[in-house]
Amino acid sequence: MDTQLRKTKCHAFIATSLDGFVARRDGSLDWPERFSQQSGQEDYGYAEFSSMIDALVVGRRTFDTALGFSTWPDEGRRVTVLSHSPIEMPDRLPKKAERGQGTPDDIIRTLGASGCRHVSVDGGKTIQSFLESGMGDELILNRIPVLLGRGVPLFGELERDVELDHVRTRAYPTGLVQSIYRRKEAA
């Protein structure tokens, strides 16, 4: 693997329901928002995670959902939105927002060449494609104690196994269980 490419690390910090969904069928995120409001000031390590991130790569659906938030969640960071079709970038977005196309390797090579060393990957299909391609280095999985029964799954069919090492698991008093995994290095 290209050593220059691997200087850029890809991380995912994502919430799922206990049954593995990241959003409702319509893309709605009311359930994690409600949980956040009930759990008070706890950020579950997100501020620390966010402080090391240089850029964000999101899928188109996740991007469209984030546009509905009152403020853009990743102010000041370079944002690459994966989409096969043109995107109208609203004026309120940082000037560093752009449309990206290509494989996870292509995207990371481009970001790495511009100096990005830690990239956050967001969106179920986007995270899945980065993990499957060998570009997902770390997965921070936050399981919220709610069953949705249906919705947008974090994981789906894969062409090959993705082996991960368990780093640690922490249970919070709010019921959230956070597990951190790292990609196994190729032998």
Residues with Cβ within 8 Å of 110's Cβ and at least 6 positions away in sequence, in order, are 100, 102
Q: Which candidate, 45, 73, 10, places its Cα nearest to that of 176?
A: 45
Per-residue pLDDT 10s for the chain (187 aa) are 555 556 899 999 999 999 999 999 988 888 888 888 877 778 899 989 999 999 999 988 888 777 776 666 666 788 888 988 887 777 766 667 788 888 999 999 999 999 999 999 998 889 988 988 888 899 999 999 999 999 999 988 888 888 999 999 999 999 999 999 999 874 3
In the block, tokens 């200087």 appear at: 7
d(C-alpha 172, C-alpha 52), whole Å:
23
C-alpha dist (Å) from residue 147 to 11, 20, 31, 141, 151: 25, 9, 10, 16, 10
In the block, tokens 């019921």 appear at: 175
Domain segments of the chain as ranges: 5-15+32-183
Per-residue pLDDT tens over the stretch 101-142:
889 999 999 999 999 999 999 988 899 889 888 888 999 999
CATH match of 5-15+32-183 with 3.40.220.10 = no
Which pTM does this prediction carry? Answer: 0.87
Residues with Cβ within 8 Å of 105's Cβ and at least 6 positions away in sequence, in order, are 2, 5, 133, 135
Map 91-120 to HEC letters.
CCCCCCEEEECCCHHHHHHHHHHCCCCEEE
Q: At CA 157, angle to CA 152 and CA 163, rounded to 5?
A: 110
Total number of residues shown for the chain: 187
